[in-house]
Structure 1
Amino acid sequence: MPRELQSIQLGCNSRYKDNGMHQLHVGEDYQFGVEEKALHFCEAISGRQIASWHAYQPRRDWNHKAVFWQVKENGFFLSWDNSSWVRKSIWQTE
């Protein structure tokens, strides 16, 4: 998470499991396990900015050992190898 952002409140869930909300600060990681056949979604809040995205989509992610997400000031980026990143969602203002 870049220094320009305040800490974020992050919640990642599926219809089967509620992982609760977590406060993350710059440089911190958050990990959670998934049910491989279930869609998992995340919601984030930082100050007046909010975002939501599909963190794990079975059709997109099933054949990857890990799914990485990076939070930046200009959005949320997906990687399967932790080095090549593609923006999948952006921040919205309340």
Structure 2
Amino acid sequence: MMTAFRPLVIVVVAIWLMVICCRVDIVAGDDLKLFTIHVRDDMASGTPCVTRVNCTGFWNKMWPGQEFHYSDLRKSRVVCTAMWNDKDSNWQAFDPFRYAGHLHVYTSIREDGFYFSFDQSNWTLISKWFS
């Protein structure tokens, strides 16, 4: 009787492992989508000071019209910090729950603050500069 039971256990365990492996692939596939944050300095072209932006742990110097991209595979929040003249601010550049389904997010840095968009056409003010 033990010998008849053993193949059944092996089949059940094999099916269970296949189901678990398939579920892991589905979840891992969702987690491994590459998202890109685009940050553009949209200050007036005569603006004398450099904007400094940090989204990745490193400071990027930006001049009017300049853009940088930050791509990542992880699914966690990204908060950026910026400094301009005697002002500074921070904003949430990426949130995996709020921005689900969007692989590109855009930030426009302007004299009055930071604007957010998914399509570079419709912009929403999300943060202002602090003195």
TM-score (norm 2): 0.63
- Which structure 2 residues correspond to residues 1-94 of structure 1 after superposition, within 5 A? 1-3=42-44, 4=47, 6-13=49-56, 18=57, 20-93=58-131
Alpha-carbon RMSD: 1.4
Residues in 1 aligned to 2:77 and 2:112: alpha-carbon distance in whole angstroms: 24
Moved over 3 A (4+): none
Question: 8 Å contact 1:5–1:46 — kept in the other structure?
Answer: no
- Separation in 2 of the partners of 1:36 and 1:78? 20
Please report how far the alpha carbon of residue 36 of structure 1 lies from its aligned counterpart in structure 2 after TM superposition. Answer: 4.2
Structure 2 distance, partners of 1:28, 1:86, is: 20
- Which of the two has greater strand per residue? 1
What is the deviation of 1:65? 2.3
**Which of these two proteins has the greater Rg computed from alpha carbons?**
2
Counterpart contact for 1:38–1:57, Cα < 8 Å? yes
If the length of structure 1 is used for normalisation, what is the TM-score? 0.86
Q: Percent of pairs identical after alignment?
A: 23
Task: Return the alpha-carbon distance in structure 1 between the equivalents of residues 97 and 48 of structure 2.
Answer: 31
Work out the CA distance in 2 between the residues paired with 1:76 and 1:29. Answer: 14
Counterpart amino acid of residue 129 in structure 2 = W
Q: Which runs of 5+ in 1 are unaligned?
A: none
Q: Distance in 1 between matches of 2:130 and 2:103?
A: 30
Alpha-carbon deviation of 1:37? 1.5
More helix by share: 2
Kindly tell me the number of residue pairs found equivalent between the two proteins: 88
